[in-house]
Amino acid sequence: MKFVHRFAYYLIGLVMGCFFVALVFSGKDTRCNYFPNARVLNSLRTKPFQYSEKAIKTLNEKWVDTSDVRKTLTFGDVDFDQSNIPFQKGKLYIIEGKTANNQEIILRVINYENKAILDDIVKKDK
């Protein structure tokens, strides 16, 4: 069998295999969160998210807004030395991130089984 024929069979098999893999994984909500930071942030993002009175008061000061909070919950860094502590029947997580104006912030989020509450937003001291 010539190389051209073998290569054609290879491409046909590759295309069919890619089609079946895409068919199997397209309907599922699969995520590859292998690292602890990604797991915690994904857990907080997928739950119903609420704001405490203190957090709402800070948001009303206009130096930070909800888009900054969402960005921090997506790209932030969880401080595991101060996090994963039992707190008010949930677990407290300290997440460091930045606002759109490059102001460093710290979010205190309480993670419950069925919801997550943003407890406080603090400017990080440099």
Per-residue confidence in pLDDT tens, the chain, 126 aa: 789 999 999 999 999 999 988 887 777 666 677 888 899 999 898 999 999 999 999 889 888 989 999 999 999 999 989 888 888 888 999 999 998 888 999 999 999 999 999 999 998 876
State the alpha helices, DSSP H only, in the chain: 3-26, 36-46, 53-59, 66-75
pTM for the predicted model, two decimal places: 0.73
CA 32 to chain centre: 11
Residues 96, 83 contacting (CB under 8 angstroms): no
